[in-house]
Every structure is written in structure tokens, then in C-alpha cells.
Amino acid sequence: MRLLVLGGTQFLSRAVASEAVRRGHDVVCANRGQSGTVPSGVSAVRWDRDDPAPDQLTDGDPYDAVVDVARTPSHVRRALAALPDAHWVFVSTISVYADDADPAGPGQGRLRDAIAEDRDPMASVEDYGGMKVACEQLVLATDPKAAVVRPGLIVGPGDPSGRFAYWARRSASTGEVLAPGDPRDLVQVIDVRDLAAWVVTLAEDRAGGTYDAVGPAQPIADLLGEALPDADLVWVDQAFLEAEGVEPWSGPDSIPLWLPRPAYDGMLAHDATPALAAGLQPRPVGATTRETRAWLDADPAARITGITTEQEADLLARWRAR
């Protein structure tokens, strides 16, 4: 297969390119060349997607498939216009869903209004999700047999968000670790390598359909128990964390994976069954945790977001004294 990966230098798109090369495919990555290097064995084409596609991209043998992770509608339009005959695998997001309390998936979950013009995707989840809706529509209008995958929280080695790294850093803990919220709250993650492998398979098979690209939902107590097998988890409820000014999800004052309930009951509880039936094979959370910890140990510059261990200890002391 001749595969074009739009990107290829960071996290998921890089993992896709690497997996495709490992399987023996002819892989080309098109990017600006400013965010890192492509994997060994990959051909690189320079393309700033604010500009028309370069001749180097469209000359030569046609591509069998294209993998695109774009979030800007104009970028998707240009790529589709340049490569209308390839099979498309578009990586979207569960942020296309308008109701974070509802876990309903493709065909059932209500989508955000499409935003067809380019906006700053970091400005708000509404802008990010709405542009992704528009990108999905553009892809499916050009290639009705395209595959659209909507990941939730992607984790694993190389994660630039630092969210799961928060827990991987604590994975060898033997003392008390603050566990946020209700132990029954559902959460789900997907390892970047498992998602990349499935994306390559969808491209190989020229498979179509729209899927929530998520691992099985499980109580956060089970996930943290597997990720931190020797820790003494101390469950601290939502009301206390909110009163102490702890932020959810990500950021320096946050506890990652924790989301306020019931407002976010559905965000990390989507149905993984259709994706699993279509070939997604998630590895155990414990394996992802160990391998993420190894990456953190090998790369001191790796990002970790969330409260510090000193802040955590202070919170636990306040929790006991309440």
C-alpha cells in the first residue's frame, strides 16, 4: 500500500507512519517540517497546508489511502481537492458530540454545529469540535466510503498533553495517592500505538464507517488499581476538590482523568464495542502505564501536567482534617 500521512511528526500521526512502515508499506508524510522528524523509512514532503498542495505531493504513483488528523476545514478541503481518489481515514474526536453528559455515539449522539470557517481550535471546545464536524462532513462528501474515527483520551509514550503521564509518574508509588471523585465513575483511554495500528488496518482494508475510537469504559477505581497496583488509593470526593480549587482534566492545578459529574458522565463512557468489532485491539492499562513510565524515565523533558506531589500531600492532609 502507498500511504500518505498528513503530519507524521507528532504523537498519533507519527505512530501511524511508524506502524505502516513496520508493516512494509510505502509511506509518505506531508508536513511543514517544523514539529519534529518523521520515522525512519518514511519519505517526507514539505507542505504548509495554508498553501496549495505542492506538485511533489501529487506527481508520481497515486496513493491508496490518506490518513488525516487535521482540525482546520480549509486544510481538509485542500487535501481532498488534491487527492480525491484515495481512500480516506480521518481522525476526528469525541469532542464533536454536543452533550458531554451523554455517552451516545455515532448516529445517536447529538453533534455540535459544524463550523466551516477556520478558527483557533484552542479557543474553545465548541470551536474545536465544530470544526472537526465540518472536516468530517467534507471527507464524507468526497469519499462516502471513508473511515471516520473519533478518539477519546489518547495516552501512551510520547503523549504531548502530559495527562496520563501524571498517573504513570505515580505508578510505582507504594504510599498514599490521591484518587479523585467517585471510584465508580467511568473512564476510558486508548493507547496511541493501538489506535495507530487500527488506523493502518482501516487504510489497508479500505474500510469505512464512523466509530468512537475508545477503549472499554471501566470504573476509575479499576483503571487506577491496574495503573498503580502498589499504591494506597485515598478517594477524595468531588465537592472537596472543587472547594479546594482543584481543576479537572488537565493543567498545572488539575488532577487528570478527573471530570465533574454528572456534567461529564458521557465523555469517557462511550461504547467501544463497534470499534472492537472492527478490529481495534486495546492493550491492558497496566502495560500502557509501565511503558509510559519507561518513556518518562528516559526523557526528562517529557511533559507531565497536574498538581505536584507537594500539593497532593497538602490536599490529603486537608481531607483528613476536614
| Residues 112 and 179 occupy one common structural domain | no
pLDDT tens profile 46-94: 999 999 999 999 888 999 999 999 999 999 999 999 999 999 999 999 9
pLDDT tens profile 121-134: 999 999 999 999 99
Range of the domain at 41: 2-151
The predicted model scores a pTM of: 0.97
Is 223 a residue whose pLDDT tops 90? yes
| Residues 19 and 128 occupy one common structural domain | yes
| Residues 94 and 147 occupy one common structural domain | yes
Task: Please name which of 89, 92, 90 lies closest in space to residue 109, comparing C-alpha atoms.
Answer: 92
Q: Determine the pLDDT at residue 116.
A: 97
| Residues 133 and 225 occupy one common structural domain | no
Residue 201 lies in a domain: no
Amino acid at 200: V
Question: How do beta strands 218-219 and 186-187 pair?
Answer: antiparallel
From residue 73, how far is each of 20, 21, 114, 137, 262 by CA, in Å? 26, 28, 10, 10, 32
| Residues 10 and 110 occupy one common structural domain | yes
Rounded-to-integer distance, Cα 306 and Cα 252, Å? 5
| Residues 125 and 180 occupy one common structural domain | no
Residue 195 lies in a domain: no
Q: Determine the pLDDT at residue 34.
A: 84
Cβ-based neighbours of 215, under 8 Å, separated by 6 or more? 188, 189, 190, 191, 194, 272, 282, 285
Task: Please name which of 204, 190, 206 lies closest in space to residue 272, comparing C-alpha atoms.
Answer: 190
